[in-house]
Structures are given as structure tokens and as C-alpha cells.
Amino acid sequence: MSHDFTLRVYYEDTDLAGIVYYANYLKFIERGRSEWVRSLGVDQLALKRAHGLVFAVRRVEADYLKPAKYDDELRVTTELIAETGARIVLDQAVWRGNDKLFTAMVTLVCLTETGAAARLPAEIRAKIAPKLH
């Protein structure tokens, strides 16, 4: 099931040509991931406080398909592809209407506050991937 998050392109997101600067797509999908996690009932601050765990991006494989421009309304889609004890793989895309502008396969890992790999608590795994648990 896909999660949707909408946003508008502001002047600060663009280059001199009025086209979204390439690195900002990573910010857009980060916001989409944060809202996806929130929509599942996972409180990332509580996860850090209670378990000392955080999510971190391990890998991003991205394709820039078409440019977004100043004042465009965009939609970020986030879909779970796979989940293991300490790793989550997501398919994310940025859309303008029915036009897909950007795609990314994102691998997240669970880390302790010291940066060591860690397993997600069972209750968090059940929220992220309920059909798998």
C-alpha cells in the first residue's frame, strides 16, 4: 500500500532556471518517509528515547526523469518493498499530476545512537510491515 505526501515547490528549492535543484528531491522523499512512518503510528522520538534507536539511510538508488519547477504541486509516494529485522527497503517517487518526475529505491537501517547496527523492536516491525509479521 502506497503512502502519499503532498508539497509545493518554493523558490528556495530551485536553481537560477526555476528548476528544482537535484539534491532537493532527496529532501522531498525524506519528508515523505517521515510522514509514512508517522502514519503507521511510529513515533521516532519515542523510539530513540525508549530504545536508543534511529533510522538512517544506507543506500539510495535514484533516477531523475523530468524536472519539477517553481510553484509545482508535487506528490511523494512511499511504498514498502521489503523489511528484515534491521533493514527496510522503500520504493519512493515524486509526481506532478500523473507525471513521474523522480524515483528512488531507498534502504534504511536501524542504528543505535553510537552508530552500531541494531534490530527493530518487534512492535515497531509489526507496525511497519504488519502483513509480514
Q: What positions carry a catalytic annotation?
A: 15
Using N-to-C axis directions, what is the helix angle for 24-39 and 44-51, rounded to 10°? 70
- Which residue is listed with cell 521516532? 44
Q: How far apart are CA 73 and CA 52, in angstroms?
A: 36
